[in-house]
């Protein structure tokens, strides 16, 4: 079963191919993705790598966590599922309200 890893501390210039090639040294990589800012399209400095097996994932964590990659120290661990967040309020600024009424 594939295991997804969180990879933080990536240099902003890292490409998905570079990330995949680096983690392939630890085992079979199913996929690699760099997370980008929606507005600018620039890297946010982290990504995810999906390893083909739990053993490959564990080896990747041992090989890369705390290690230098492009001049930056990586944080690599098993990715946690995204937690449910409350829905965002639509619209812009609220009118505030709650003020005193002077009569």
pLDDT digits (tens, 9 = 90+) for 27-66: 999 999 999 999 999 999 999 999 999 999 999 999 999 9
Q: Is residue 29 part of a domain?
A: yes
Q: Is residue 10 part of a domain?
A: yes
d(CA 54, CA 4) in angstroms, rounded, equals: 9
Q: Is residue 19 part of a domain?
A: yes
Q: Is residue 85 part of a domain?
A: no
What global pTM score does this model have? 0.78
CATH (domain of 55): 3.30.70.330
Q: Is residue 101 part of a domain?
A: no
Q: What pLDDT, on the 0 to 100 scale, is given for residue 29?
A: 97
Q: In the chain, what's the furthest Cα-to-Cα distance?
A: 75
Within 13 Å of residue 32, how many CA atoms lie on the same side as its CB?
A: 20
Average pLDDT over residues 10-32: 96
| Cβ atoms 16, 58 nearer than 8 A | no
Q: What pLDDT, on the 0 to 100 scale, is given for residue 91?
A: 58
Q: How many domains does the chain have?
A: 1
- b/e code 17-53 from CB counts within 10 Å (16+ = b): ebbbebbeebbebeebebeeeeeeeebeeebebbbee
């Amino acid at each position: 079963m594939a295991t997804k890893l969180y990879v933080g501390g990536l240099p902003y210039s890292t490409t998905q191919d570079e990330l995949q090639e680096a983690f392939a040294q630890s085992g079979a990589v199913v996929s690699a993705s760099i997370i980008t800012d929606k507005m600018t399209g620039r890297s946010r400095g982290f990504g995810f790598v999906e390893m083909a097996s739990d053993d490959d994932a564990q080896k990747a964590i041992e090989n890369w966590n705390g290690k230098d990659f492009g001049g930056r120290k990586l944080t690599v661990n098993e990715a946690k599922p995204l937690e449910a967040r409350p829905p965002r309020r639509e619209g812009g600024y609220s009118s505030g309200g709650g003020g005193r009424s002077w009569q």
